[in-house]
Each structure stands twice: as structure tokens, then as C-alpha cells.
Structure 1
Amino acid sequence: MSDEAEKPKDEDRKAFFGDGFFAWQGGGKTYQKEMYEATQYNVEKYWGGFSEESVDEASYRLPDWAIGPFRKYESNPIFAPAEEGWDRGRFGGGVHNGSVVRKDGKFYYIYRGEEPLREDYWGGAEEGLTDMGAMDYICDIGVAVSSDGIHFERAAGCGQLFRRGEDEDFSFEDVCVVKHEDTYYLYCNKWDWRDFSNPKGNGVFIATSKDLLHWVKVGLAFPEATRIHRNPCVLQNPDNEAVRANGKFVMYVNDGLIAYSDDLIHWESREMSEFWPGGEGCFALADYSDAHPDGILLFTGGHHTGHFYAVGEVFLTKSNPEQALAWLPRPVLIAEERYPWEDARSAANPDEIISYFRDTIFFTGMTRHEGQWMAYYGGSEVYTCLALADAKQKYG
């Protein structure tokens, strides 16, 4: 159990989340070298508010509420930027941070794809002359399909789902998808680079679908917000169906925020009285454990015991989804230098540096299939990789 002394300081949390826009989201050639140096393992900079009590990793065993240990798929990465087109990637980003949902025996990967920002986006202004002049990328959402959850093919006609018409100049990123009854609900981050700090135009965006291929835009989930709401994690079960807690659907949002809804469209947020270490939410899971039928397992991604971005786990309950009962003292997934695609290098040419995100693991998609948890994480923010863990329990 965690005690008061171990809870992260509020100033540490604010330093991480900032005003809702992270410093490392920036781009531009002048920024790349700085970030490449900054995203290395650093205990002083990236401890993340965890207890400094030592852990004997040789004898440590995960508590029964946790999922893991995870093992990385031997043939990673499983999905890479296209050779050309809207999701061809750019220096520092590619195809990642998507949701995986199973339907009719298939795996659907609804993912974030990146491309370089078009040259005239800033109206000819030189880099640095505007508030966000260094931004050099833009994202949209695509769909890929697989029969085994490993080998994915892009679905024809399902690329660049949202950046059309009046939304052409917005960036859509980091996906959460859940099913309820006969409808799929997609939540992602929407950004307007020209006015990125305005919560009236930025934050959690909603779309719906009946088949995971064709999507109808709904709009911002928090149109009246006075601060940025981002990185939506809607509580779901191992079959990626939305789960209620105390009669309400639950969404974990950034910076100590939580939101509730009756219909998965209209959301009301509130600030939690306390927070936990580990950064932003990745994935929120319920109904996953026989031993803890009321349990919620929230995966987090951010500064973690020296890692720039690693994945941790926090334990809460449906009875009180705002109070963390415990969290793991060490991450369950970290980037490793031995894998080029996790060390900012090309999978095809390991001598080529293609990203400044060196010590960075983050995921927003996971499902349970044939006795295994399948978590889809980003390698250096460029590739999609797979990690597996035994699903020892049969709850749900």
C-alpha cells in the first residue's frame, strides 16, 4: 500500500503536465539535438515522485492485482510508417498510440499516424517567429486490420479519417476506443497548432462508428473546459467494452482530472483530491481479475524511476475510482537500447537515427486474446511494437 510520504508533490505533477501541452511535443531541427540528449535515463530528472526505497528486483514479485511480467514480441516492430502517404512518418514520429479492438475474428488497430507539416502551414513565417513556429508535424487517425493481432494491413479507404474539410489543419493523436452495445466510441486528442493552449479548440475529441471503418465526428468532449483535457482513458473490460463504476462511465484524463458520463458522449470532469506517480494515463482496465472483481488497473506512462517514459501500473477500485490504493514501485515496460526501434534508431538500418525519443515507451491499446494480454506500444514514437503477458485469471 502507498502512504502519504510516497505521494508525488503537486509541484512535480504540474512540472510534468504543464498547461496541457508537453514541451517534448515540439519539433523542428533546432529542437532535435536537445531532445535527443534529454531523453536518456536520468534518475535526477525523471524519478517521477516514486518512493526512493530500494527494490530487490531479483526477488520482487508483482502483487496479485497487477498484470505482468510482460515479454516483448521477438519479431518487433509489428507496424511501421508507410513508404509514402499521410502516415509516412517524420523525424521523431510515425505510427503508434492506437487502440486495438477485436471484431468478427479480426483485430482492428485504430492508430495515430504522423507526417511532416506542409511548408505553407505557417503562412510563410520563419521558424520561431510564431508561438509554435517550431512545430513540424501533424497527425491523423487510420485503421489497420489483422487476423492474428501481429500482421496488420492498412484498411483501404480508412486513412486520414478526420483531417478533412474544416479539420484539415488540426492534428488528431493518441487513441482510445471502446464498445458499448452496437456502437464504437473513439476518443483522441485534437490540436490546433496555431492556438494550442485554448481549451475551446483543443483536447479530447469524440467520434463514433458501427463497423470500426467509417466514423462520424461528434466533437470535443469538454467544449466548456477552462483547461486542456487530453489523453482520454475510458474504463473498459478485457473485451474492450466500456465499463460503468457507480452507474457512470469513467474517463481518466490528464493532470489529475477524471470525468463521468451516462452515455459516453456528454462528459463532466472534476479534479481528484490526490494523484499518483507515473505520469499520464495509458489504459484503464476493469473486470480483469477473479481476486479483485471490483478492481481497476490503470496503466500510466511518463517519468518513472529515471526513465523518460516508461509504463507503470496503479490499482484503484470501481467503488472509488479516484483513490489509488497502490502502485508498482518499478515500471513493467521500459525502452531498451539493445532494440534499435526503442533507441531512436531505424529498425531497417540500426545506424540511422530517426527520432529523438530514446528512452520512451507508451501505449494506448491492449486486449485479451487466447489467454494472453496483448499490449501495443510505441518504439521511439515511430513504430508499433507488441508486448505479451499471461492472462492467468478468467474474470469477465
Structure 2
Amino acid sequence: MKLKLLILFCFVGNLTIAQNTNWALTGFSKPKENPILSADSSYEFACPMKNTSVKWQKADVFNPAAIVRNGKVYVLFRAEDTPGTNIGFRTSRIGLAVSNDGIHFTRRKNPVLFPSKDEFAKFDNPGGCEDPRIVERADDTYVVAYTAWNRDVARLCIATSKDLIHWKKHGPAFAKAYSGKFLNVWSKSGSIITKMVNGKIIAAKIKGKYWMYWGEKGVNIATSDDLINWNPLVEENGELKYVMNIRTGKFDSDLTEPGPPAMLTSKGILLLYNGKNAKEETRDQHLPAETYSGGQVLFDANDPTKIINRLDECFIKPDLPHEMRGQYKAGTTFIEGLVYFKKKWFLYYGTADSMVGVAVKNSL
């Protein structure tokens, strides 16, 4: 994996301190085609829960995962159905779109992951299936970590597929850990560590285990033997272990939430994440209050809990009109999908909880 050398300068008092960021993935630009996906009321779906046809993409389309398959980019996007209702009170379903160039997409008619009359309805109905992150296993199986939302507790769940269309739900990721201790604990945003193998990004093992960063207000971590059942790391007192927290005065002063699947590089484990700016005086004064922007952090390749370096500034932020206009008006560039395609990096993100955007970086 080749990363561009970049030196950022931070000013502290009368001193100028250079921050070495040769480990980071920077230099993204937003093509003129943005936004690349938006709401479309022409798509109808026979909802098994409502027993009626619903316009499942009518309100918003956002927060995408991405993967390369057979020389094409596939995006799993979150779609909401009912305009005019508050955030969290619509039903989300995950749709699939495909592209030959990473920018222009064709959508499938029906969603591929959604609430159904199955054993998991108690977790994902009526709020739905949200905010996927996708990785590929070495045996060509796809694994999605997504949020099941029953409008009570958000739960990080796992599903698997061989073709990206037909998915098998496995339920909450932490259901079996510690005798179910964390089954009903709020959990979201699973970023599984990957590696690049012959130009292909697949799930990686470190010390015989798969690892996943997850969480919302701070970043937690978990391990797995099979990418399906996960064990959160805990402190000596049994409470969840945090490997990264918010920072006063920074773009991530209110929230740090994992983005696309993390990647094992020659420098360490690179995690791209979402930072939310606080609304109090503790926020980054150069950004609007409550803005979501993107950050990067480097963890030790031999100890995924140990931070080596972290960008002081966001590397992507809302600065286009549609990124600051939608159901989340403070603005978001909520990153969830990253692929290496045709010698470029494509970073997919949600804009203002309403549309899908992309930023592109040449590999050199």
C-alpha cells in the first residue's frame, strides 16, 4: 500500500511543530459528479413487515459501504422510506448499486438487507438495517457489519453473502460474548481490520484473531475467530475497553466513530474514522458546531489497541452545498466505504444523512 508523504504544521504558542503524516491516506478530491446517489421514489418494494408496497428510497439515500467484485465497484447504501419524520423514525433498508467506473451507479430494484419476519425482527424492526461496513473473507465470502435499529437499542449485527445479493443474518455480533453481557448494550459502526493482497482487500488476522474497531462516543475493540461472533475487549473491572477517545478543541471533540474497514499497512493499522464537533466551547472553532468530518489514526500492527499517531485536523469535511443541506443540517461527510479500484482510492460517504458522495485519490 503506497501512501503519500505529507507534513502538516501545527501552531502552538510561538512554536511551529511539524506533524509527520507519511502514514496517512490523504490527497482526496471530490469529483464534479457529486452527489452520486440520492433519493428516488420510483423504487418500490413489497415490504414483508408492512404487507404492502413501500417506496423504500423515497426519503434519503446515504451512508454507503463499498467493495470491488469482478472488476466493478459495488456499494451497499442505506435508504429511508418516509419523508417528513424525524431522524431515527423512518425504516432503513440496505440497497445495492454497481458501477464500472466507481462514480456512475446502477441500482437494484429491491433492497438486499431489510427487516423481515424472521428471528431477528426483534432487533431490526421497525427502525431497520443501517450503516453497513463490508469486508471480504479469504474464501470469497462477504461479511457485513451493520446496525439493527428497533427504535430502542442500536445493535451491531453481522450478515454474510457469497454474491452481495442474498444475505444470511447472524444477529448481534456480541450476543454470545460474556454470557450475553453486551447483547443489550448500544453498539454501532464495526470496522474490521483488513489487508491488501495482490490488489485485493480482505479481512486480516493478527495473532490468530480477526479484529474490529467499533463504537460511537469513543472507539472500542473486539476480536473474533470467524468474523461472525465477536468478543469485546474489557478492562479489569469488566467494563468495555476504549482505544480512542474524543479530544477537546478538535474536529472530534464530541464523538469518534469508526469509518471504513481499517487496513493493515507497512506503517501500522490505518483507521479512517468519523469525528463529530461539539456544540459547546470545547469544539473546534474553525468548524460549525456538530459537524461530522473525517479523521485518521494509526494503531500498532502488533497491538491494535495502541495508538501510534493521529491526525490533528480532519482530512475531509462538508464543504459542498448538498453536504450541508439535508435531514442533518449541521453537515456531514460520514465515511463508510473505501476501495482500491483502477489504481485509485475511492472513498464513499453519506452527506447530511441524505445523499451519497465520493472522494477520489490517485494511488501515488
Shift of 1:241: 1.0
Q: Name the counterpart of 1:150.
A: 103
Q: Which residue of 2 aligns with 1:189?
A: 147
2:280 maps to: none
Matched, 1:286 2:244: no
- Of 43, 46, 63, 2:21 maps to 63
Equivalent position of 2:214 in the other structure: 253
Aligned to 2:335: 363
Which residue of 257, 269, 275 maps to 2:244? 275
Match of 1:350 in 2: none
Query: Structure 1 regions of 5+ residues with no counterpart?
Result: 1-50, 120-132, 345-353
* TM-score computed with the length of structure 2 as normaliser: 0.76
Say whether the 8 Å CA contact 1:79–1:384 is kept in structure 2. Answer: yes
More helix by share: 1
Distance 1:186 1:328, change over 3 A: same
Whether 1:302 and 2:275 are equivalent positions in the alignment is yes
Does the residue aligned with 1:204 lie in a helix, a strand or coil? strand
2:116 counterpart residue number: 164
Alignment map for 1:1-396 (pairs within 5 Å) = 53=12, 63-84=21-42, 85=44, 86-90=55-59, 94-116=60-82, 135-156=88-109, 158-159=110-111, 161-166=113-118, 167=121, 168-180=125-137, 181-193=139-151, 196-197=152-153, 202-223=154-175, 224=180, 225=182, 227-238=185-196, 239-254=200-215, 255-270=218-233, 271-272=240-241, 274-277=243-246, 278=252, 279-289=256-266, 292=267, 295-304=268-277, 305-306=284-285, 307=287, 308-336=291-319, 339-344=320-325, 354-392=326-364
Query: Shift of the alpha carbon at 1:100?
Result: 1.0
Output the aligned Cα RMSD: 2.7
**More displaced, 224-233 or 72-81?**
224-233
Q: Equivalent residue of 1:237, what SS?
A: strand
Amino acid across the alignment from 1:268: N
Inter-partner Cα distance in structure 1 for 2:226 and 2:88: 36
Matched letter for residue 341 of structure 1: H
Match for 2:224: what amino acid?
A: S
Is the 1:87–1:95 contact (alpha carbons within 8 Å) kept by the matching residues of 2? Answer: no
CA drift of 1:283 comes to: 2.2
Does structure 2 conserve the Cα–Cα contact (< 8 Å) formed by 1:62 and 1:68?
A: no
1:310 aligned counterpart, secondary structure: strand
Letter of the structure 1 residue corresponding to residue 74 of structure 2: Y
Q: CA deviation at 1:218?
A: 1.3
Give distance in 2, aligned partners of 1:245 and 1:301.
Answer: 24
Question: Is the 1:256–1:275 Cα contact (8 Å) retained in structure 2?
Answer: yes
Structure 1 residue 60, shift from structure 2 partner: 6.8
Gap runs ≥5 in structure 2: 1-9, 45-54, 234-239, 247-251, 278-283
1:137 match: secondary structure: coil
Which residue identity lines up with residue 275 of structure 1 in the other structure?
A: M
**Counterpart amino acid of residue 30 in structure 2:** K
**Identity among equivalent pairs (%):** 27
Q: Is the 8 A contact 1:79 1:385 kept in 2?
A: yes
Provide the rounded CA distance (Å) in 1 between the counterparts of 2:164 and 2:78. Answer: 15
- Rounded to whole Å, the distance in 2 between the matches of 1:315 and 1:297 is 5
SS of residue paired to 1:321: strand
Return the offset for 1:276.
Answer: 3.7
CA 1:74 to 1:269, structure 2 compared with 1: closer, same or farther past 3 Å? Answer: same
| Contact 1:284–1:296 under 8 Å retained in 2 | no
Quote the offset at 1:169 in angstroms.
2.2
Deviation at 1:146, TM superposition (A): 1.0
CA distance in 1, matches of 2:58, 2:298: 35
Question: Post-superposition shift, 1:134?
Answer: 8.0
The more displaced of 355-364 and 142-151 is: 355-364
Over 3 Å counting, the alpha-carbon distance change for 1:357 and 1:62 in structure 2 is farther
Relative distance call for 1:381 and 1:62 in structure 2 (3 A) is: farther
